[in-house]
Amino acid sequence: MLYQLYETQRALMSPFSEFASASSKLYNHPLSPFTHTPMAQRVSAGLDLMHRLAKEYEKPQFNITSVKVDGVDVAVQEQVPINKPFCRLLRFKRFTDNPAVLSKLKEQPTVLVVAPLSGHHSTLLRETVRNLLVDHKVFITDWTDARMVPTEAGPFHLDDYIAYVQEFIRHIGPEVHVISVCQPTVPVLAAVSLMASAGEFTPRTLTMMGGPIDARKSPTAVNNLAMNKSYEWFENNVIYRVPVNYPGNGRRVYPGFLQHSGFIAMNPDRHLKSHYDYFMDLMRGEDESADFHRSFYDEYNAVLDMPAEYYLDTIKTIFQDFALVNGTWEVDGALVRPQDITTSALLTIEGELDDISGAGQTRAAHDLCTGIPKARQFHYDVEGAGHYGIFSGRRWRELVYPEVRDFIASHQSAPRTAKASQAATKPAAKKAAPARKRAR
């Protein structure tokens, strides 16, 4: 019933939001007589803020149409190699007629970025993708809003998520490097572990960033909520059915608007200040700061519904049973054994100020992946970085990305056999040594 009430409210507010937007422009347009009335700038700013608080935020686009490689503009086109009911595999294909740059592009490593299915759309990793495209061929998982998936497509469990990741890895091939950001670190590790146990190839490298591999370590407010409430509490209090005005009518979901409320509740003072600053920027005519606010909240306020089965499986498996670290997780009857991974290299990354995945939670992957030689295991702590800072913003560009790029490059041509790995990875370990040194 709550979802239906929310939709009713949204429908009622929509005309007022559009009216506020139009009125704001009326008081701010150079040809409008209202622009020259007293307090016109203040009225325009207030109406603009009202519009943004009441409007519906749709899924943003990546809008990555080109990237500079060696100073040359290279065109980028989005392609969809695999289209599943709950996810699209996107490829950012680069095109150029410059022979030197084309030759370089062909030799670059291939990266699969596994984006979170935890509220926000994959476009939250836009900056991650943009930087990676300079030195890599890039694929990314683009998860579908569950309210847009008809019930005929069936349910979507955590096991299905793992199957999707495995299918994408197999499609790209054995030379792939996998980067998982936040929530996907756990199912990605499970997917690769199962592939290793079955004797399949595993990715050349695994980069895991800010994820709850072991949520018992330094638990955050997010972890405490998941651990201190029962499974039944989540099922009875946050799961609702999609209203009739969406293709997924009747599907059980964890609604995006509830997730968004949780995001805001974690730092209400910061968001209030941000909106006040936006109002003052509009008043002062500081367009650059106002545009930055719009860009950030266009992304931050765009949320998706998660399938109920997947969300509840995640709560139970990762945050209540700790099945991965306890060695009790079974997927289709097969035990998840990270120790069976032997031919991949592992890099874990944590933000010093991460308030979503606490210190040590991602690093715990090293304790599980005992089959990977120590010479191919690395960890990097990002000083001063919060959760989002490890994959976007200045610290991502200046600190994290160079480490990820060099880590991937150093293992791009390393021998794949576990037997030869101890000796063969010594040069790679030297290249990545600065990251280990800074981490300590």
**Cα angle 163-331-378, degrees, rounded to a multiple of 5:** 75
In eight-state DSSP terms, residue 213 is: T
**Total Cβ atoms within 10 A of residue 267:** 12
- From residue 440, alpha-carbon distances to 39, 142, 359, 401, 437 in Å are 55, 35, 13, 18, 5
Position 417 scores a pLDDT of: 58
Whose CA is closest to 421, among 362, 381, 366, 377?
377
- What token pair was written down for 61? 């686009």
Query: Could you give the strand order of the β-sheet that contains 87-95, starting from the edge strand earlier in sequence?
Result: 66-69, 72-84, 87-95, 137-143, 110-114, 176-181, 205-209, 345-351, 377-382
> In the prediction, which pLDDT does 425 show?
34
Residue with tokens 């030195």: 135
Tokens at residue 302, please? 């765009």
Whether the model pTM is above 0.85: yes
The C-alpha atoms of residue 31 and residue 40 are separated, in whole angstroms, by 13
Q: Which residues pair with 91 in a beta bridge?
A: 79, 139
Task: Give the whole-angstrom CA distance, residue 142 versus residue 223.
Answer: 25
On the question of pLDDT at 427 being above 80, the answer is: no
Cα separation, 371 vs 144, whole angstroms: 35
Cα separation of the two ends of the chain: 51
Beta strands in 292-343 (DSSP E): 306-307, 330-331, 334-335
Confidence of residue 432 (pLDDT cuts 50, 70, 90): very low
pLDDT above 70: residue 96: yes
What pLDDT sits at residue 248?
A: 95
Residue 247: how many CB atoms within 10 A of its CB? 14
Residues with Cβ within 8 Å of residue 404, at least 6 apart in sequence: 132, 179, 207, 347, 349
CA–CA separation, 333 vs 158, rounded Å? 14
What is the per-residue pLDDT across 114-168, written as a single tens digit (0 to 9) for each?
A: 999 988 899 999 999 999 999 999 999 999 999 999 999 999 999 999 999 999 9
Crossing angle for the helix pair 256-266 and 268-284, nearest 10 degrees?
Answer: 90
- Between 63-67, 256-260, 422-426, the lowest mean confidence (pLDDT) is in 422-426
pLDDT above 70 covers a percentage of the chain that reads 94
